[in-house]
Amino acid sequence: MNRQLVHTKLDYKNRINTVIDFIDENLDEELSLDFLSELAFFSPFHFHRVFRLITGETPNSFIFRKRIEKIASILLVGTDESLNDLALRYGFSNGNSFSRAFKKYYGVNPSEYKENFSKIGVEVLTYEKYICSINHIKNTCDERKCRD
């Protein structure tokens, strides 16, 4: 394979990964095609094509999916925020439009989703328990490094 072609493919993947990281960190912000394409140093048309080629999804469908998954993870962990407020924060016009999208994606409405996971014995993970778990994993890995 041509070295220039390999370099170009790697460059394109790195640019798209930069955009994906940005999207993941800013799901509660307005994410326009023009802005994301500028972030990747592509024209909007070329960005759309490259993004879809690399991820298998259009930028809008990717963002839509990530927002639904983000709200699903918040519901599992637990929140005092209403479903409507979560929906509005993550770019849905209202709680009903979010619930329809959620049901289409997961096959159940958000309250059923939360209820089903708690019924199968999945422990609801609080923020504190999550951090303790991550710290335990990190400390275990650090101890292994010291032994090796």
Domain end marker among 56, 82, 102: 56
Domain end marker among 19, 34, 56: 56
What single-letter DSSP state applies at residue 87? H
Q: Are residues 50 and 75 in the same domain?
A: no
- Separation between Cα atoms, residue 121 and residue 124, nearest integer Å: 9
- Separation between Cα atoms, residue 60 and residue 48, nearest integer Å: 9
Number of helical (H) and strand (E) elements in the chain, helices listed first: 8, 0
pLDDT > 70 in the chain, percent: 75
Q: Are residues 83 and 98 in the same domain?
A: yes
Number of domains in the chain: 2
- Domain residue limits at 118: 63-148
Q: Are residues 47 and 82 in the same domain?
A: no
pLDDT for res 146:
47
- In this predicted structure, the answer to whether residue 148 has a pLDDT above a threshold of 50 is no
Question: Nearest to residue 60, comparing CAs of 44, 71, 80, 73?
Answer: 44
- Separation between Cα atoms, residue 138 and residue 148, nearest integer Å: 15
- In this predicted structure, the answer to whether residue 115 has a pLDDT above a threshold of 80 is no
Q: Taking the model in full, what pTM does it have?
A: 0.74
